[in-house]
Amino acid sequence: MNLIDKYLELAIKILMVSVLLIVFSIVFSSCSKEDPEEVKVPDAARTEYNSFLSEAAKRNMKLKNRRLEKIVLQGVITSSQYWLVGEGFYINGFYDQDHKQIIFDTTSNAWKNNREDLVFHELGHAFLGRVHRNDLLPVDSLPASIMNFDRVANLYNFERDYYIDELFNENTSSPAWLNNWSK
């Protein structure tokens, strides 16, 4: 075997290894972030994030991550013309297919007092593909869904089960406690 044949054989081997590395990197990079466990979640939102995953598991739901890479905690959200306490896949009322993070305003009353509601709302966009639902229950102007854009659902009392059920199943019936609610 002459020198040219040896170089040709070596070049073919290098080419084959290069092609394999390219195919390998494409396959594994396209699979990233499909698993909800792959999302970067700060400690201050970890409890609510894990609670969301737990509620989905109770309902035997397989969550599909719609490109969410991380959750960001910061002060006032300035990327919008509106006052926002959470920003994710729906920016100014429009679906943003390239958005890869959820941002929370940690100075807001919603973050301080209704963190679970706020986190569940944004994760509803990210994992469930839910859009805003601004209709109200027939009593006391209560939101019909946690996906309400401008009214906070109270997840810290007897209403929590209804709002979580409705988040994971849009066809959830009106809550039984409405019958006993004073009008």
Between 50-59, 73-82, 83-92, the lowest mean confidence (pLDDT) is in 83-92
Question: Dihedral (C-alpha) 42, 121, 104, 95: value to the nearest 10 degrees?
Answer: 110
57 or 76: which leads in pLDDT: 57
pLDDT digits (tens, 9 = 90+) for 145-180: 998 887 766 666 778 889 999 999 999 988 887 877
Quote the pTM value. Answer: 0.71
Q: How far is CA 41 from CA 14, 37, 130, 149, in A?
A: 40, 9, 20, 23
How long, in residues, is the chain?
183
In the chain, domain spans: 1-31, 36-174
Picking from 73, 122, 81, the residue whose alpha carbon sits closest to that of residue 99 is: 122
Q: How far is CA 88 from CA 62, 84, 85, 99, 133, in A?
A: 21, 10, 10, 7, 16
For the record, the structure tokens of 155 come out as 């997840």
In the predicted structure, residue 103 carries a pLDDT above the cut 70: yes
Q: How far is CA 158 from CA 76, 162, 168, 178, 181, in A?
A: 31, 8, 18, 11, 12
Looking at the structure, give the CATH architecture of the domain made up of residues 36-174: 3-Layer(aba) Sandwich (3.40)
Between 53-62, 114-123, 172-181, the lowest mean confidence (pLDDT) is in 172-181
